[in-house]
Structure 1
Amino acid sequence: MGSWNSVESLKSSTWRELEAVYRVLLSLLVTLQGIGLKCTIQKEISQCGAISENFTQLGGKIEEFLLHSHSSNTNSKYFYSFKRCEQFISKEGGKSIPASPIHVALYLTHLLDKGSSKSVVQSAVYGIKWAHNIQGIQDPTTNSFVVNLMEAAKRQPHRPKVKKDHITVDVLINLCSKYKDCNDLLVIRDLTMIILCFAGFLRYDEVSAIRCKDIVFKDDNFSIKIFKSKTDQYRLGDEIVICKGESIACPYLLLKKYFQLAMINSESDNFLFRPIFRSKQVCSLIYKNKRLSYTRARECIVSRLKSICPDLNISLHSLRAGGLLQPPIQM
């Protein structure tokens, strides 16, 4: 289920993408059945007073369409939050679907009593709300006990927030100046990711998902197609355009250089930023179509930036934040 067999691995990338989506939907269908959704739908159909073969078939499809009400990651998060609540209530002899408001309040009290953070309590409430709303059952989280316990969680002692510093244009220009004569593919890959995150206001999730064919070069700019974004809830997709600059940190020239060094085919379906291997005098992107992991990208990018600004408290998000606070018009 989790990997391709010898026959499947030879099929086209389009087939494998569609098959992967189908398998995710199947796994989520099992998730929704795990909260008794299928039984609830069948019960509602049988009680409506008009049972037909068409109603039965449509009832089976309701689950599939309900999957699209939230993203797969959101469904998974809510499901496991609800299951932890279900385990607690069932252990004490209660019923989780439909859950009694007092049982939910007792569960939240249990979380607060053992020192759980505000986010843990909120996840529990949202998971319980999701499990009831998706089945058309009365939501127990609207009870005043639950609402006030949510407020109490926000007032619990917590660590003060330590915000990350943002990156400036000057830091990026100094970084690119340091490697201006470098033709090492590993260095150029890291610099290209850094500049794209800054100039395009991109999250790492969006950068890592870019494929070679998603980039189109023109005379004085290039465009990037973004198919999935945190703020694009309905997956409509978007396209960003980045103009050619005049400084050494120009995103256009740096991306062109990366394409040349990595010998990238602009029509390829492979991920643009992949891990790199070295063998004697050869330095190249791995042949497997595998995106660079967040952990490795953070390690590479932060170490490059720290070489210029060692005293700053930075993360990958510092690049997007820096681009938004100081538009990269000087690049």
Structure 2
Amino acid sequence: MAKGDSRRVGWQRVTQGESPFGTTSQAPYKTQPYTHWPSPAFKDCSCQQQPLHSTNKKYTASWARWETWASSKIGMVVFPVNPYQLTLYITELATTGPKSIAKSATAAIKWVHSLVGLPSPTDNPMEKTAPQGFKRLHSSAAIRKEPITPNILSKLMDRHGHKNATLADLRVMFVCLVSYAGFLRFNDLSVVKRNDCKITSDHLTIHLPRSKTDQFRQGSEGVISRTFKSTCPVAVTERYFSALNDPPDSSLPVLGG
């Protein structure tokens, strides 16, 4: 295709051989008004690259917000997006609304350009610098939660782990002590079955079918030692399993009783 010829990309006419991010006065893109986004042809060519439905809806709404803003400004090009104009848009969003809107707009604009095979204006250094500067100026100090201490666990044990503790009380202590000793999240324990747990005289072994740190879902095992203290996670696990009354080879979840 010779320079000066044109072709359709998505719903816009693009002049072959021109830079997609020229200045507004020299931009070869003729933004045509349209009422439905994306067009049926655009959906057909991009269906294999669509994100999840909820994300797709979010990106579509973010793109429509950009389209409305750019169409209301003189000299703005709706598509392809000029990185300098995008910087103005993101700066306005970041200073007048929630930070999440500016972040979503950046992701949506990058997504639209990737679907039609054009360079993303979000890769421009200027566009990356503006949100970072705003974040430094308006960020608030992080409020860190206090860590769980052995003293807190002892108080929990006094309240929920006494000799007359119910199944619900023992479940609370099982989750707290095993999670604390094994560095586990609740979601890690929620998928553990009874036959994933093996108790010996000096330790507890738990097979984790999946976890946040197991990116390839290969499964992993955690070993928790017996401490012989009142807050011993292995001893509490024995009491909980006894109250649960499931056989060791049961495939029922340990938190489902």
Which TM-score band applies after superposition, normalised by the shorter structure?
A: 0.5 to 0.7
Q: Does 1:85 align with 2:62?
A: yes
Q: Secondary structure at the match of 1:240?
A: strand
1:232 to 214, 223, 231: 214
Task: Map Cα deviations across residues 17-59 of structure 1 (whole Å, 9 max, x no partner).
Answer: xxxxxxxxxxxxxxxxx9x575048xxxxxxxxxxxxxxxxxx
User: In the alignment, which residue of structure 2 is the partner of 1:297?
Assistant: none
The residue identity in structure 2 corresponding to 1:39 is C
Determine which of 254, 259, 271 is the counterpart of 2:241. Answer: 259
Structure ID, larger Rg: 2
User: Aligned partners of 1:238 and 1:130: how far apart in 2?
Assistant: 35
Count of residues paired in the alignment:
212
1:39 pairs with 2:16: no
In 2 relative to 1, CA 129–237 (structure 1 residues): closer, same or farther, beyond 3 Å? farther
Q: Which amino acid aligns with 1:208?
A: S
Distance verdict in 2 for CA 1:138–1:116, change over 3 Å? same
2:128 paired residue number: 147
Q: Which residue of 2 aligns with 1:218?
A: 200
Residues of 2 paired with 1:225 and 1:244: CA distance?
17
Letter in 2 for 1:125: T
Distance (whole Å) between structure 1 residues aligned to residue 229 and residue 173 of structure 2: 14
Match of 1:195 in 2: 177
TM-score by length of 1: 0.54
Displacement of 1:142: 1.0
Shift of 1:160: 2.7
Residue 184 (structure 1) shift: 0.7
Question: Against the structure 1 CA distance between its residues 123 and 244, is the aligned structure 2 distance closer, same or farther, given a 3 Å change threshold?
Answer: farther
Name which structure has the greater RCO, CA cutoff 8 Å, separation 6+: 1
CA contact (8 A) 1:81 1:124 kept: no
How many percent of aligned residue pairs carry the same amino acid? 25
Residue deviations 1:101-143 (CA, integer Å, cap 9, x gap): 34543442342132323x5544543454456557754222111
Equivalent residue number for residue 23 of structure 2: none
User: Aligned equivalents of 1:219 and 1:76: distance in 2?
Assistant: 50
Change (3 A) 1:172 1:78: same
- Greater share of residues in helix: 1
Q: Distance in 1 between matches of 2:115 and 2:184?
A: 33
Describe the SS at the equivalent of 2:98: coil
Partner residue in 2 for 1:181: 163
Deviations 1:253-312 (A, max 9, x none): 1111111112224333333223xxxxxxxxxx3xxxxxxxxxxxxxxxxxxxxxxxxxxx
Distance in structure 1 (CA, Å) of the matches to 2:86 and 2:104: 13
Unaligned runs of 5+ in 1: 1-33, 42-62, 275-284, 286-331
Look up the SS of the partner of 1:269 in the other structure: coil
TM-score (norm 2): 0.67
Residue identity opposite 1:221 in structure 2: H
Give unpaired runs (5+ residues) of structure 2: 1-39, 72-76
Q: For the residues of structure 2 that align with 1:114 and 1:167, how far apart are their CA atoms?
A: 39
**Over aligned residues, Cα RMSD in angstroms?**
3.4
Distance 1:135 1:211 in 2: 46
Q: 1:219 to 1:131 in 2, by over 3 A?
A: farther
User: Structure 1 167/202 Cα, relative in aligned 2: closer, same or farther at 3 Å?
Assistant: same
